Chain A
């Protein structure tokens, strides 16, 4: 670390300015003392925590916490940690008063060493009979499952379970792979059993520690001296690699996953400059070295799209050249239709990024910008500090590794919605075009042919519901973020009604786009959350939803009074007037920035409002 950077880190007094410095840091280049220094500064400056992480282990794992804290800090996430006493994981989860339970973690990381868990396996594998090997495997899976159940019962946390490290050298040597029930086979089966055991559990996630550590080289991750002195199975490199893997989960859980990848074209997605080298001169496609590089890079980006990442273009070019390139060079994995929207012009890139954000209706802080040109990168970085701008190497063969290593696009689950996301945003862009053509709002709305379904949220959709709660920023009146267990509670508990809203129209299926959470209290019903994805905004769907809410909660038999709240954030300005527009009356409360509303059944505002051009289906 540069002396200058070190000094400025030491002198920061607030979390915001520390984050700004950390954002540009490559954590893999920090040594032990620098990690300590940064970690301590984070502890000093952070106010509260975005995530509380508890570490449970049967080996010395203390040095993992500073690594996770620092790496999370480089992503702007404040992590508070708790390290359970050595080898006390069971007691810590069992006892109501343990450090782990009273810490009230958002995330529990359970990482067990085979050495302590099953010494027989580690020491005498060759002399064990098959029945014993099998019973040991079953015992371990049962234990992990029992621990997971305890964690679920005792906390609201997500549980991250590390899988087991395959030994670097099996006791039977190369012949192990010829053995019935060999050691390699045993570990593979165990790790597979963990995946199967937790696959359908929405709160438990297997962490592929074995793979994460293999990436940095499993012969380099243990310092034998420290192992024997302090039961420290992983050295700093090992801890760094493990924390680097955990941060992928942290990003997803903290809702910091990026949504949009903005791409440059010339020398980024293909070799050469289309305006100079011509369409036929571009290097991309299989069979020759430079072509292969860009083919592989495009293929990976195409797969990101499958993961639900929106792809967009920002390129300084003539549009005709670009259209011709995509039309003629069909061997490219990416097609022009893979991009939800394009800005191919000669405007400054940062202007184009702002315009893309507006067009897609998503925040610019969910953008990653890839460009081979360091000047463009610098310009975007300096004008739009919220955009992530990875450094690309001079040699394009290094692009792919940069993108693969970056944790920005991690999600806990892949849903149907994700696979179709670009189509949905592209449909939206198309709808925008038609709105401009038609001009008249009423005619435009009825030309869409909107069909809306409102129904009670179901458990099988919980992943999408969770996504809406955690990611919607603009049309979100209270911006309350709920975890999966909390959402499960809303679905099960009779005191709550959680509605999901799905929309289709003539242009396509928008999927689940909205949520309303109503809590029934003794004398009134409270609208706890009212959320709509921005791609459904601007066609009075919110009014159609509110009509149904009014109808249900203001009718006789119910409490006859609805209460609602607007909690202002930097992003939810679009719904500032929402309750006023829907006929609610403002209730003055002194000294509170939040706006409180109520609506009585007899009030004038309780009448239903018009929402033309929407067909409504009310499900169970």
Chain B
């Protein structure tokens, strides 16, 4: 997994990088609430200089899908 991505996720949600896996999601991480979800999107857009669509934003359901979406944009 992209190290940079892990760092962003950990900073936005305020958890250790070691606790982030591909399966990390709003279901198993308390601080992944709707507000922090939007902050995550903004942070990702800033970091990778990309623009996520509204569909992308709604398709992010865990770190795995986040990583896939970022990859599809960064290419």
Q: Which of A33, A232, A236 contacts B12 (CB 8 A)?
A: A33
Q: Are B11 and A228 in contact (CB under 8 A)?
A: no
Q: Are B43 and A32 in contact (CB under 8 A)?
A: yes
Indicate whether B69 reaches chain A with its CB closer than 8 angstroms.
no
Q: Are A32 and B34 in contact (CB under 8 A)?
A: no
Residues of B within 8 A of A229 (CB): 38, 54, 57-58
User: Which chain A residue has the least Cβ–Cβ distance from B52?
Assistant: A225
Indicate whether A292 reaches chain B with its CB closer than 8 angstroms.
no
User: Which chain A residue has the least Cβ–Cβ distance from B57?
Assistant: A229
Residues of B within 8 A of A40 (CB): 14
How many B residues touch the partner, as a band? 10 to 19
A235 to B46, CA, bound (A): 12
A450 to B57, CA, bound (A): 72
Residues of A within 8 A of B39 (CB): 32-33, 36, 63
Indicate whether A394 reaches chain B with its CB closer than 8 angstroms.
no
Residues of A within 8 A of B28 (CB): none
If A33-B12, A36-B12, A236-B42 touch, whether A62 touches B53 (CB-CB below 8 Å) is no
Indicate whether B35 reaches chain A with its CB closer than 8 angstroms.
yes
Indicate whether B70 reaches chain A with its CB closer than 8 angstroms.
no
User: Which chain A residue has the least Cβ–Cβ distance from B35?
Assistant: A62
Indicate whether B8 reaches chain A with its CB closer than 8 angstroms.
yes
Q: Using a CB-CB cutoff of 8 Å, which residues 222-260 of chain A contact chain B?
A: 223, 225-226, 228-230, 232, 235-236
Residues of B within 8 A of A235 (CB): 42
- Please report the number of residue pairs spanning A and B whose Cβ atoms sit closer than 8 angstroms: 47
Indicate whether A97 reaches chain B with its CB closer than 8 angstroms.
no
Q: Are A228 and B54 in contact (CB under 8 A)?
A: yes
User: Which chain A residue has the least Cβ–Cβ distance from B33?
Assistant: A62
Q: Are A36 and B38 in contact (CB under 8 A)?
A: no
**B40 → A minimal CB distance (Å):** 9
**B28 → A minimal CB distance (Å):** 20
Q: Using a CB-CB cutoff of 8 Å, which residues 52-66 of chain B contact chain A?
A: 52-54, 57-58
Main secondary structure of the interface of A (DSSP, over half): helix
Q: Are B11 and A33 in contact (CB under 8 A)?
A: yes
Q: Which of A31, A33, A34, A230 contacts B38 (CB 8 A)?
A: A230
Q: Are B57 and A36 in contact (CB under 8 A)?
A: no
Q: Are B42 and A32 in contact (CB under 8 A)?
A: yes
Indicate whether A558 reaches chain B with its CB closer than 8 angstroms.
no
Indicate whether A140 reaches chain B with its CB closer than 8 angstroms.
no
User: Which chain B residue has the least Cβ–Cβ distance from A37?
Assistant: B11
Residues of B within 8 A of A32 (CB): 12, 39, 42-43, 46
**A18 → B minimal CB distance (Å):** 16
Residues of A within 8 A of B41 (CB): 226
A434 to B38, CA, bound (A): 66
Q: Using a CB-CB cutoff of 8 Å, which residues 489-544 of chain A contact chain B?
A: none
User: Which chain A residue has the least Cβ–Cβ distance from B53?
Assistant: A225
Query: In the complex, which of the residues B34, B39, B46 has the most CB atoms of chain A within 10 Å of its own CB atom?
Result: B39
A228 to B38, CA, bound (A): 12
Query: In the complex, which of the residues B8, B12, B42, B57 has the most CB atoms of chain A within 10 Å of its own CB atom?
Result: B42
Q: Using a CB-CB cutoff of 8 Å, which residues 401-442 of chain A contact chain B?
A: none
A453 to B56, CA, bound (A): 71
**B55 → A minimal CB distance (Å):** 10
**A33 → B minimal CB distance (Å):** 4
Q: Using a CB-CB cutoff of 8 Å, which residues 1-54 of chain A contact chain B?
A: 31-34, 36-37, 40
Residues of B within 8 A of A236 (CB): 42
Residues of A within 8 A of B57 (CB): 225, 229
A36 to B41, CA, bound (A): 13
If A36-B12, A37-B11, A40-B14 touch, whether A230 touches B34 (CB-CB below 8 Å) is yes
**B48 → A minimal CB distance (Å):** 12
**B43 → A minimal CB distance (Å):** 4
Residues of B within 8 A of A232 (CB): 38
If A225-B53, A229-B54, A232-B38 touch, whether A33 touches B14 (CB-CB below 8 Å) is no
Q: Which of A33, A60, A223 contacts B43 (CB 8 A)?
A: A33
Residues of A within 8 A of B47 (CB): 31, 33
Residues of A within 8 A of B53 (CB): 225
A229 to B35, CA, bound (A): 11
Residues of B within 8 A of A36 (CB): 11-12, 14, 39, 43
Q: Are A33 and B8 in contact (CB under 8 A)?
A: yes
A236 to B43, CA, bound (A): 10
A223 to B43, CA, bound (A): 13
A232 to B39, CA, bound (A): 11
**B53 → A minimal CB distance (Å):** 7
A32 to B35, CA, bound (A): 13
**B10 → A minimal CB distance (Å):** 9
User: Which chain B residue has the least Cβ–Cβ distance from A63?
Assistant: B39
Residues of A within 8 A of B52 (CB): 225
User: Which chain B residue has the least Cβ–Cβ distance from A6?
Assistant: B11
User: Which chain A residue has the least Cβ–Cβ distance from B46?
Assistant: A31
Q: A63-B35, A228-B54, A230-B34 are in contact. List 16 more A-B contacts (CB 8 A).
A: A31-B46, A31-B47, A32-B43, A32-B46, A33-B8, A33-B11, A33-B39, A36-B43, A63-B39, A225-B54, A225-B57, A226-B38, A226-B41, A229-B58, A230-B38, A235-B42
Task: Give me the 5 closest cross-chain CB pairs, A-B, nearest first.
Answer: A33-B11, A33-B43, A32-B43, A32-B42, A31-B46
What are 17 residue pairs bridging A and B, where the CB atoms are less than 8 Å apart in the complex? A31-B47, A32-B39, A32-B43, A32-B46, A33-B8, A34-B11, A36-B12, A36-B39, A37-B11, A60-B35, A62-B35, A223-B42, A225-B52, A225-B54, A230-B38, A232-B38, A236-B42
- Which B residues are within 8 Å of any A CB, using their own CB? 8, 11-12, 14, 34-35, 38-39, 41-43, 46-47, 52-54, 57-58
